[in-house]
Every structure is written in structure tokens, then in C-alpha cells.
Amino acid sequence: MKEKNSIIYIKKLLDREAKKRDNADEVSLDRLDPILVAKRYKDANISLICALFAYGGVKQIVKFLDSLDFSLLKKSDKDIREALQNHYYRFQKSEDVIALFIALKRLNEESSLEEIFRIAYIKERSVIHGINALIEAINSLFPHNSQGYRFLISKVTTKTKGAGALKRWMMFLRWMVRDDNIDMGLWSCVDKADLIMPLDTHTFKVSKKLGLLHRKTYDLQAAVELTQMLKRFDENDPLKYDFALYRIGQEKLI
């Protein structure tokens, strides 16, 4: 009975916070988030760049993203190299930034992020398979190997236990698939119910404090388990609670 009451309380808390956060003012110049930059363009390629560089302090993230000329995604390799030769961000040197732009430019000359993701996703009804397909495509279209670049685009994941949580990729998918006052809903090929929580260390700690997550290891399996728990509250759209959990932690509401 105690556990049942606790679950009811947490659901009411998250439902209230999710409703409260679902408004355009939740993301603004006063309340920064990388999606603020992505929403200016509403383009999957630009959104992916915004998501992959979304680590570190949010002011630094947005400042870096604002410095990028996204029209380069339709320019020549030479133009991209010249324009980005002095751009770097934390673990990524200019060569890493250049590699991502060239890879995405080449990818869109042949197909699209959504199509590559969709084909892999529908085979196993798995967003992890879709992400793996995109990582493989990016690596094959412009092979580049550095520590910063490997961190930026992540590596193909064949397991969940002990694997990186793929937080930035999962956040990108949330932006693409969900459609509300926060997310953009640019893709129609993915069921919201199949999304996995973009788990970072802050959401991990908040979820453990609330009793939503009992796994001690911060990994992809923890993200999967948290998602399954949130499906008890909304089986069709568990990630509607993601932004609420993020703000609860950020604003120290618990």
C-alpha cells in the first residue's frame, strides 16, 4: 500500500510538472536549452548537430551553436573546411566539427537521416537499431577517427548493460518525434512509445531520489528501465516526463 501511494504521488507530481513545462516560455533566452537553436531551423540535420554538441554548460553550448553557419551543410567540402577551420568545442577540435558537417552533407546527397533511421528502426522496432544505423552511415560517408569525434557521435551499441546511455541521441529523437510546445515533431516514422529516456547524470540522480529508478549503474540499461517505469504513467508517451524531470533537478524542487 505504501509503495502504491508513493507511485500515485510521483505520478501526480510528474503530470503536474509536465503540464506546467509544456509551454513556449519554458525554452527562451532566459531559460536556455539547445533546442532553442534547433527550433529556429526545424531541420533534422541542424537538430542533430545541436543535440550532439549538447554537453557541458548550456550557455557555452548555445554560444557555440550560434557561431555555426548551418548553410555550410549544402556547400562543398572545401567551403566547409575553410569556414570551420577555427571552430572547436571542448573535446572537439576543428577537424571533428568539419568531419561532422561533411558527413551530414554527404548523407543528405544520398538519402536522409529519417530514411536511414526508419529502415533500421522498423526491422526490430528499436530506436537503438536506428541510432546504430545513423552512426554507421556517418562514419562510412566521411571516415574520421579521433577521441573527440568518437565522443561526439558515439559508437555502435549492441548491448544495454554497461553501454553509454546515448543521451544526446535519445534527446535528438525526442525532438524529432514528439510534438508539443517543447519538441518539434518533424518525423512521423517513429512511435512515441518506442522512445527511450535521454538519461544524463542529473536525471539519473533525480529519478533515483523519486524512486523511479533503482539501478545503480548509469548506463543505457538504466535509461531503458526508467522508460519502462514511466510507461506505467503514460504507456504511449513516456518521454513527456523528460523535460519535467530535467527541470525538477535543475531547479532543485526535491
Enter the C-alpha cell of residue 171.
534527446
Per the DSSP assignment, residues forming a β-bridge with 179 are: 184
Residue 3: pLDDT band with limits 50, 70, 90: low
Q: How many domains does the chain have?
A: 1
**Amino acid code (one letter) for 112:** S
Average pLDDT on 18-25 reads 92
Query: What pLDDT, on the 0 to 100 scale, is given for residue 24?
Result: 87
One-character DSSP codes across 11-46: HHHHHHHHHHH-SGGGSSSSS--THHHHHHH--HHH
Spatial CA neighbour of 222 closest among 194, 249, 240, 201: 201
Task: List pLDDT tens digits, range 72-128.
Answer: 999 999 999 999 999 999 999 999 999 999 999 999 999 999 999 999 999 999 999
Instruction: Tell me the CA distances in angstroms from 95 to 33, 62, 67, 107, 184, one per residue in order.
Output: 25, 20, 16, 18, 30
Residue 97 makes CB contacts below 8 A (sequence gap 6+) with 68, 84, 87, 88, 89
Host domain of residue 106: 2-250
Per the DSSP assignment, residues forming a β-bridge with 89 are: 92
Spatial CA neighbour of 195 closest among 204, 206, 205, 187: 187
Mean pLDDT of the chain, nearest integer:
95
Q: Which residues of 9-34 are buried (b: 16+ CB within 10 A; e: fewer)?
A: ebeebbeebbeebeeeeebeeeebbb
Residue 2 has pLDDT above 60, yes or no: no
Question: What's the angle, vertex CA 231, arms to CA 172 and CA 123, rounded to 5?
Answer: 60
31 alpha-carbon distance from chain centroid? 18
Query: What pLDDT, on the 0 to 100 scale, is given for residue 53?
Result: 98
Query: What pLDDT, on the 0 to 100 scale, is given for residue 1?
Result: 43
What helix, strand, coil percent values describe the chain, rounded to 5? 65, 0, 35
What is the largest distance, in Å, between two alpha-carbon atoms of the chain?
Answer: 66
